[in-house]
Structures are given as structure tokens and as C-alpha cells.
Amino acid sequence: MFVRCLADTGAMPDSRPAFTPYQRFATAVLTLLQFAVILDFMIMSPLGAMIMPAMPMTAQQFGLVVSAYAFSAGASGILTAGFADRFDRKKLLLFFYSGFLLGTLWCGLATSFHSLLAARIVTGLFGGVIGSIVMAIAADLFEPALRGRVMGLLQGGFAASQVLGLPFGLYLANHWDWHAPFIALAVFGAVGGLLIAWQMKPVDAHLKLQNDRGAFAHLWHTVAVKRHLHAFLITALLTTGGFMIMPFASAFSVHNVGIDLEHLPIVYLVTGISTMFVAPTVGRLTDRFGPLPVFFTGSAITIAMVALYTRLGPSSLTTLIVINVVMFAGIFSRMVPWQAIVAGIPAPAQRGAFTAINAALQQLAGGLAALVSGHIVQVGADGRIEHFPWVGNVLIVTTLASGALLWLLRRNATPALAH
């Protein structure tokens, strides 16, 4: 299966296949779901300044609320992996998405630390699995020659949530209170759920291929495949580096680079807008030239820009924006082709379990990376972030390691692809 994916996503002729009308609809709906789930996760941090005094809540308690989502999402992915291929993927998506919307609504109605903590745990338990189901559906519905474009559009949901979702959510919070963004997101997200329920066709072809009688046996048979473990390790490495830089990026920009707080949103706005165009473009390049050349090009750009960014001294706003835009272009040029590759690694009968475990590892690796990063960097008396280049070095090493592992995965796929 993996061999066929790599072979089919090699260099493409100019007459590439196009999306059918139903595939365009499915891509739009799945991207809408990605937008809602990512926004729900990202909106918590900027709302902290409003939530903590409103509850009231200590910084440690708020940190627990934020991390509760990631860890419950990771645990949910592992617990549901054994069952992920035993149901119609459309029904499975509707079940978890309904739970996610209820958890989001609960967040909008919470009035105490304990109720908000419980709401975030529930939201993570359901929302953490949605991304893996979306990826499994995308792999089922789209042939390998189209997967780069699909993954690029799905990754663009991340940028859209940053550019469109966060400012609108903060606008609602400022004009009403911090509950408003969660209630609005639950209402908005319900539209996507109704579209799936009414218009999406069943995704159940994999059910005819099932051989495992029990959930544990299915989970074990998925984990025991060597190339699956290889892919899980690459995913963890790709996730680790990025999550080590993200928590301290804003403080580094202000205290080390010298950007005023009022200008900081411009950096994220321009970066997010550029990523909305970069991710789909990378997807088209992946389908045209193959995922491996795009991945290695993106890795080279990432290494160069991370080395420059983490060592940046006092600089202009324009300089920081340019570096940020190019760096994120490199990062997405790794993630999009990797998503296209990883979609074809498991057999269809194991795709749901594989993507659930893969998504769980992303959550857990991200949480661990942020924890480790907090022990590497130090905040000086003037607010400057010390030892930030070491965090960049970790990202560079993980990028090199993931590239080497992908090269080995490619070489071992078939002798014809080794040269």
C-alpha cells in the first residue's frame, strides 16, 4: 500500500486529475470542521486575560485548563483507535463532532474553574479524534494523485482559524464576555454537522476488509506493523520541534527582537494570510512533483529560517514578518507532503486506527515538547528569552532526523524508488 502511494505520488504529468463536484463539497466540509476544531483549541490562550479574573482563577489553574484539552485528546486517540475502523467513518465523525460541539457549548456556559476544566476535558476527548477521522476520510475519498491538494486545503484551515477565527472570537469576547466565542463557535460548527448529516455519503468501504474480531486485536495489529511505527516516529519528530518554539514566539518577538505589543498582531495576521495561500500551493506542488522533493525542500527552508529566527536580535517589524512568513512556508512545506505520504501508509482496513494513533501522538508530542521547552529557555529580569537558539537547534535536529527516517522509509519501500 505504501509502495503504491509513493509510486503514484511521484512526478506528475501536466494533465492531473481534477476534483469531482462531490469531492469539492467534501473538501469544503472537512476544512470547515478542521477550522472549528483548531479554533476551539487556539482561542483559549488569548482569552486567558479575561477568564482568569472572571472565575477567579490562578495562572496554574488556567494552565491546567489549557493543557487538559491536549492530554485528554491524546488519551482519546489511543482509546478509540481499536474501534476506529469498525464503523462507517461518516457516522463516527458525526458522533465525535456532536460531542465536540456539546463540549464547546459547555465551555460557553461554564461559570467556575471546575466546570470549565470538565468542559475542556470533554471537548478534548471528542475533538481530539476528529482530525484523525477527517484524514482517514480524505484518504478514502481521494486517490493518491489528489491527496497533496486535499492536505494543503485542510492545513489551510489552521491559517484560516488564526486569520479569521481568532480576531472575530476576540471581538465577541470584548463586546460581550469570554463565553461568547464558545457559544458562537458551537452555533457555527453545527452548520458543518448538518451538512455532513444531510449531504455526505457513507464512508464504509473499509468495513468489507475487516478481519480482526476484537478492538484490542485490531489495535495491536495496527501498532505491530513496522512501517506504521516508522511513520509514528516521523510524526512525533515533526511535531516536537514546532511546539517547542510556539509557546515563546510572542515573548521573543517583543523582548528580544524589539517589536511593540501593538504591532505584534500584524506579524501573526500577515503570517496567517500568507499561509492561507502557501498551504494549498504546496499541496498542488506535491501532486505535481511528488511529496519527497517538496518535503526535503521545505525541510531545508525550515532549517535555514529557524537558525536565523531563533538568533535574531533587535530588528524591524518588516524583517521579522519576512522571516516569519518564509519560516512558516518551510514548515508547511514539510507537513503537507508528509500528510499526503502518511495517508497512503496504512491499508484501508487499518486507516482509522492508524490515523487515531498518529493524531494522539501529535497531541502528546506537542504537550511534551512545550514542557521540555519551558525547561530549556529562561526569562531574564528584563523579560528577554535566554537560550532560545537551543530550542531552534532541537527543531533543526528533529527536522534532519525526520528527513533521514523518511529517506529510509522510501528506500525500503522498493528498490525502484531507492535511487
Q: Which of 142, 166, 163, 154 is nearest to 279 (CA)?
A: 154
Average pLDDT for residues 93-101, to the nearest whole number? 92
Exposure of 399 in the CB half-sphere (CA atoms within 13 A): 29
- Burial class of 18 by CB neighbour count within 10 A (0 to 12, 13 to 18, 19+): exposed
Indicate the pLDDT class of residue 215, thresholds 50, 70 and 90: low
What pLDDT, on a 0 to 100 scale, did the predictor assign at position 59?
57
- Domain 21-204+213-413 is of which CATH architecture? Up-down Bundle (1.20)
312-339, pLDDT tens digit by residue?
A: 889 999 999 999 899 988 988 888 888 8
Q: Is 222 exposed, middle or buried (0-12, 13-18, 19+ CB in 10 A)?
A: buried
At 110, give phi and psi (nearest 5°): -65, 140
Yes or no: say if 150 and 24 are a contact pair by the CB < 8 Å rule: no
C-alpha cell, 23: 469531492
User: Residue 190 contacts by C-beta under 8 Å, 6 or more apart in sequence?
Assistant: 101
What's the burial of 273, exposed, middle or buried (CB within 10 Å: 0-12/13-18/19+)? Answer: middle
pTM above 0.85, yes or no: no
pLDDT at 11: 41
Residue-level pLDDT at 123: 92
Distance of CA 102 to the CA centre of its chain: 22
**3 state SS of 378:** strand
Element holding 386 (H helix, E strand):
strand 385-386
pLDDT bin (cut points 50, 70, 90) of residue 66 is confident
Q: Higher pLDDT residue, 326 or 28?
A: 326
- The listed range with the strongest mean pLDDT (237-246, 352-361, 401-410) is 401-410
pLDDT over 60 (residue 1): no
Q: What is the pLDDT of residues 171-208, one digit of tens each?
A: 788 778 888 889 998 998 898 889 888 888 888 777 67
Give the integer Cα–Cα distance in Å for 364 and 230.
17
